[in-house]
Amino acid sequence: MTIPHADQIRLYRDMALARRFEEGVAEAYADSFIGGFTHLYTGQEAVAAGSISALNHDDYVNATYRDHAHALARGADPARLMAELYGRTTGVCKGKGGSMHFYDAENYFLGGYGIVGGNLPLAAGLGLSVQMKDEDRVVMVFFGDGASNNGVFHESLNMAKLWNLPVIFLCENNFYGIATDVRISSSFNEIYKKAQGYGMPGHVVNGMDVLEVRELCDEVVRHVRQGAGPVLIEARCYRFGGHSMTDPARYRPRAEEELWRKRDPIPRLARHLLKRQICDQARLDALQAEVNETVEAAMRFAEESPVPAPEALYEDLYVEEPGA
Amino acid sequence: MPEQRFFEALNHAMFEEMTRDERVFLLGEDIGLVGGTFRVTEGLMAEFGARRVRDTPIAEATIVGLATGAAQGGLRPIAELMTLNFGILAMDQLINHLSKMRYMFGGAVSLPVVVRAAFGGGTQKGAQHSHSIESWFVNVPGIRVVLPSTPYDAKGLLKTAIRSDDPVLFLEHEMLYATRGEVPEEEYLIPFGQAEIKRPGRDVTIISWSRMLLESLDAAEKLSKEGIEAEVVDLRTLDPLDFETVLASAARTRRAVVVEEGWRNVGVGAEIAARLQEHLFYDLEAPVQRVAAADVPTPYAKNLERLALPCADQVVEAVLKATL
Ligand SMILES: Cc1ncc(C[n+]2csc(CCOP(=O)(O)OP(=O)(O)O)c2C)c(N)n1
Ligand SMILES: [Mg+2]
């Protein structure tokens, strides 16, 4: 195990924050502070936390509509993310984006996107910009198992490899695209092996184990940063709740859900940290208390923030207005 | 007459037509096992089996293209695009293929394809999930465009769509699915190209379709209290367009307001206003008014979304302008 102890503790904190943030979102959604489509990340925390922690601050990341934890892992301010969900001016997108569309350029989180697969070509394009500007950066793009059946997945992998772009394609295989089991929607279910079709390396990792994710990503990021071209990673994981706030997930067998809940990445890391005496329970409790306070403060901040002024409706459409 | 919800009326239309004609089959995302995101296809897989009710991967372009090919081969597919926002991925198949083939091949082929899709804004789904882009398709010759506003119309028009030998885009506003209305038990069909006067009036003609028809009826109710009797015309199909009914009504009232949820710029309202002035230039008492969405992407924040999308109050305002 090569991951520094401080990083391991930090991963615990990142996952706890993501978990608690989503709990806060669920409460605020129930209280109608949040509307629209809201997709929680609960259960999958190890993937975003583990993989993003392997990046440099100025590496690029983009994600899907299930983007809360990715933005948090990038270091976005939880209060401004929450304010976005509440549709307030202080939100990361001034309340114009909402849950599916976080953006935080300062932390190189370059967007959450609502159209399945839509962010993959963007990631390839970011990779091209890095290459053409000769920058020391990699790109990490998140998408689901369902997205791997859409045309742009294949087009993006092909072009990324063809042009040797520094892109890490990270497929979060939670086995469902809304209600559709990946086993009835993909002709071939080992997604990571699809990399072979494009001549790039493909890896599979246990997405419920944050340290495994981090270890693999450390290696992959190093490889991609050296100019070796794109890589596909399949992280097998599970969302504990429904697809979105309005989905009770009745299509999933209860036994399957219970099995995966036993693999909860947060208690798993806690057990490891305690067993290896990397930290004690008091430290974990303190971290939990800290993230609870962070989320509470974020919700207070969001609630107290103003809604956008009516003039905001016509702002931000174009950079330039003719004659202005 | 028994009442039904909009989604049930659609469901019954498909049930009846699938029973009547073996060649009719369904394909789309999450339509089978779970009966559709909006419950429209509930029970159909249990009734007709997985051969005729097909769950597909997230592959919009291929869903539409495959339906087109199946129709070429003699079947009568109903392709469901979960929402029209995702149908944008299928534009090539819809516009370059489905709408073109019959004419381009000199009438050698007929393509009895129904493409059904939910659409529309109003529930804070943000910029990528709120499109009302029916005008795009009305602009393209070769595909019928149908937008029912009531359960009765939904059923009668969908049955006509399924029996039509031409491609039909059948658009169902998301906020209409739960609405109720009378639907007779005995069979009926509603022909394309027949607008319906949903409320008679002598002072002004309001022209609308789909969900905005309901806002228009609300507005008419409010106006009636002010002593203004608005006639509300439901176009029901935008292609073919029953301009006769619009013209006859506007010739009587001498005032017209077109209400649509899509963007104002080059919207359907522009076409109707242009045709009205071609025919009634000397008879109109006021310029034709257009009520439509603000020309910006739909914002997430609730207060901004309300400003962006048209509503009954804006219809009232427009009518007052037209009747000054
Ligand atoms: C092109 C497109 N088609 C359909 C949808 C509707 N939709 C939203 S999420 C989703 C499932 C995606 O599944 P997956 O890629 O596995 O991601 P997950 O939600 O499981 O993280 C679907 C079908 C969409 N947003 N975009
Ligand atoms: Mg999935």
The model's pLDDT over B67-86, given as tens digits with 9 standing for 90+, comes to 999 999 999 999 999 999 99
pLDDT at B250 over 90: yes
> Residue A35 corresponds to which amino acid?
G
Ordered by start, the domain boundaries in chain A are 5-297
pLDDT at A265 over 80: yes
The whole-angstrom separation of Cα A232 and Cα A167 is 9
Ordered by start, the domain boundaries in chain B are 3-182, 196-323
Residue B324: per-residue pLDDT: 81
Tokens of B291: 């009520």
The whole-angstrom separation of Cα B289 and Cα B277 is 12
Query: In angstroms, what separates the C-alpha of B86 from chain A's closest C-alpha?
Result: 7
CA angle B307/B91/B76 to nearest 5° reads: 115
Which of A110, A233, A228 shows the shortest CA–CA distance to A166?
A: A228
Q: The whole model's pTM is what? A: 0.97
Residue A323: per-residue pLDDT: 79
Nearest to B59 among A35, A98, A150 (CB): A150
Ligand 1: centre distance to CA A141 (Å):
15
Cβ neighbours of residue B35 closer than 8 Å, sequence gap 6 or more: B41, B42, B43, B44, B45
- Helix or strand run (H / E) with residue A260: helix A254-261
Residue A113: per-residue pLDDT: 98
Q: Decide the pairing of beta strands A231-236 and A167-173.
A: parallel
For the segment A129-145, the average pLDDT, to the nearest whole number, is 98
Q: How far is CA A94 from CA A87, A302, B46, B125, in A?
A: 7, 12, 46, 15
CATH number of B3-182: 3.40.50.970
Segment B122-133, tens digit of pLDDT: 999 999 999 999
Answer yes or no: do B300 and A307 touch at CB < 8 A.
no
Residue A49: per-residue pLDDT: 98
- With a pLDDT cut of 90, the percent of chain B lying above it is 99
DSSP state letter for A104:
B
pLDDT at A266 over 80: yes
A324 confidence band (pLDDT: 50, 70, 90): low
A2 confidence band (pLDDT: 50, 70, 90): confident
For the segment A192-219, the average pLDDT, to the nearest whole number, is 98
The whole-angstrom separation of Cα A77 and Cα A75 is 6
Any atom of ligand 1 within 6 Å of the Cβ of B192: no
**Chain B residues touching A119 at Cβ < 8 A:** none
The whole-angstrom separation of Cα B71 and Cα A316 is 44
- Arch. (CATH architecture) of A5-297: 3-Layer(aba) Sandwich (3.40)
* Residues with C-beta atoms within 5 A of ion ligand 2: A 144-145, 174, 176-177
> Residue A95 corresponds to which amino acid?
G
- Arch. (CATH architecture) of B196-323: 3-Layer(aba) Sandwich (3.40)
Ligand 1: centre distance to CA A38 (Å):
13
Q: Where are the alpha helices (DSSP H) in chain A?
A: 5-30, 45-52, 68-73, 78-85, 119-132, 151-162, 182-185, 210-225, 254-261, 265-275, 281-304
Question: At which residue do the structure tokens 């293929």 appear?
Answer: B97
Among chain B, residues having any CB pair with chain A shorter than 8 Å are 29-30, 33-34, 37, 55-62, 85-86, 88-89, 123-129, 294, 296-297, 299-304, 307-308
CA Rg value for chain A: 19
Strand partners, A60: A139
For the segment B116-121, the average pLDDT, to the nearest whole number, is 98
Segment A154-202, tens digit of pLDDT: 999 999 999 999 999 999 999 999 999 998 999 999 999 999 999 999 9
> Residue A315 corresponds to which amino acid?
E
Residue A1: per-residue pLDDT: 58
Residue B89: per-residue pLDDT: 98
Residue A321: per-residue pLDDT: 85
Query: In angstroms, what separates the C-alpha of B26 from chain A's closest C-alpha?
Result: 16
Segment A59-94, tens digit of pLDDT: 999 999 999 999 999 999 999 999 999 999 999 999
Closest-CA residue of B relative to A116 is B58
**Atom 20 in ligand 1: which residue has the minimum CA distance?**
A177
Segment B160-214, tens digit of pLDDT: 999 999 999 999 999 999 999 999 999 999 999 999 999 999 999 999 999 999 9
A243 confidence band (pLDDT: 50, 70, 90): very high
Q: Is some CB atom of chain B closer than 8 A to the CB atom of A154?
A: no
Contact (CB, 8 A) for B144 and B133: no
Q: Say what the ipTM of the complex is.
A: 0.96
Sheet holding A109-113, edge to edge: A109-113, A60-64, A139-144, A167-173, A231-236, A202-206
Q: Give me the half-sphere count of Cα atoms (radius 13 Å) on the Cβ side of residue A6.
A: 0
